[in-house]
């Protein structure tokens, strides 16, 4: 039992207490944000903003540029999504859950490719393109950028991007030494699966 605990948490002996508290706080608000998203509640955005702001600080401090950019983008898209979700599609109904149109799919592809190029340039500029982690960071950043944009637009497919990105992030963050964040993404994966099923069911009901 002691060996397992050391495997998961031994690296935290070198961390500042404040950073550990901040990471746990960010993880808690991150869970709340994903849970509210599954429930299709607008609280997904304010809770997400708290989580992402903390992670931007921590990831910048830890030198994880790709991850930091993901969370900075989350922060911006949370504000955008908050605005979109409060708009009315007509006089009575809020912007409803829907599936992506062909035009939105093309935009999603553009966001994915543009993100890959942008993150590559950033890593090369700061001489961080020196480890396989940079390749995975670039890929997950692109996946999450598209997923966040689709969530802000209230598209069912956003959950598919979260599921893929979360699955990649679980071992990635554990390898980086951030066990709490790794556990967060494991929880995110489970919630995202149920979120996809719930949103798909709600969309199908809206067609009846």
For 36-65, what is each residue's pLDDT tens digit?
988 888 898 899 999 999 989 988 887 777
Judged by average pLDDT, the poorest of 80-94, 101-115, 127-141 is 80-94
The pTM of this model reads 0.79
Q: Which residues of 130-166 are buried (b: 16+ CB within 10 A; e: fewer)?
A: eeeebebbbbbbbbbbbbbbbbbbbbbbbbbbbbbbb
For residue 14, pLDDT over 80 is answered with no
Q: Which residues of 25-48 are buried (b: 16+ CB within 10 A; e: fewer)?
A: ebbebbbbbbbbbbebeeebbebb
> Could you tell me the residue ranges of all domains in the chain?
2-88+98-206
In the three-class reduction of DSSP (H, G, I as helix; E, B as strand; rest coil), residue 51 is classed as: helix
pLDDT (mean) for 102-113: 96
| pLDDT for position 2 | 64
Structure-model confidence comparison of residues 19 and 11, the more confident one = 19
Cα gap 120→164, rounded to integer Å:
20
CA distances from 204 to 36, 53, 84, 160, 200 (A): 20, 35, 21, 17, 6
Which pLDDT tens digit goes with each residue over 132-157?
888 888 899 899 999 989 988 889 99
Mean of all residue pLDDT scores within the chain: 85
The Cα–Cα gap between 183 and 171 comes to 9
DSSP-derived 3-state class of residue 15: coil
Radius of gyration over alpha carbons of the chain, in Å? 18
């Amino acid at each position: 039992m002691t060996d397992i605990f050391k495997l998961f948490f031994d690296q935290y002996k070198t961390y500042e207490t404040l950073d550990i508290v901040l990471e746990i706080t960010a993880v808690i608000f991150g869970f709340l944000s994903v849970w509210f998203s599954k429930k299709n509640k607008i609280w997904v955005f304010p809770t997400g903003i708290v989580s992402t702001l903390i992670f931007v600080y921590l990831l910048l401090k830890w030198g994880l540029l790709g991850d930091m950019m993901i969370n900075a983008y989350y922060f911006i898209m949370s504000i955008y999504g908050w605005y979109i979700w409060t708009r009315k599609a007509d006089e009575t109904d809020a912007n409803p859950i829907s599936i992506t149109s062909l035009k939105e799919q093309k935009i999603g592809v553009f966001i994915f490719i543009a993100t890959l190029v942008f993150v590559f340039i950033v890593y090369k500029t700061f001489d961080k393109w020196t480890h396989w982690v940079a390749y995975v960071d670039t890929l997950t950043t692109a996946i999450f950028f598209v997923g966040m944009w689709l969530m802000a637009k209230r598209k069912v497919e956003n959950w598919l991007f979260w599921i893929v990105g979360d699955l990649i992030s679980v071992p990635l963050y554990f390898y980086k030494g951030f066990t709490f964040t790794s556990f967060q993404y494991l929880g995110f994966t489970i919630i995202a699966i149920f979120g996809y099923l719930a949103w798909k069911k709600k969309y199908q009901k809206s067609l009846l």
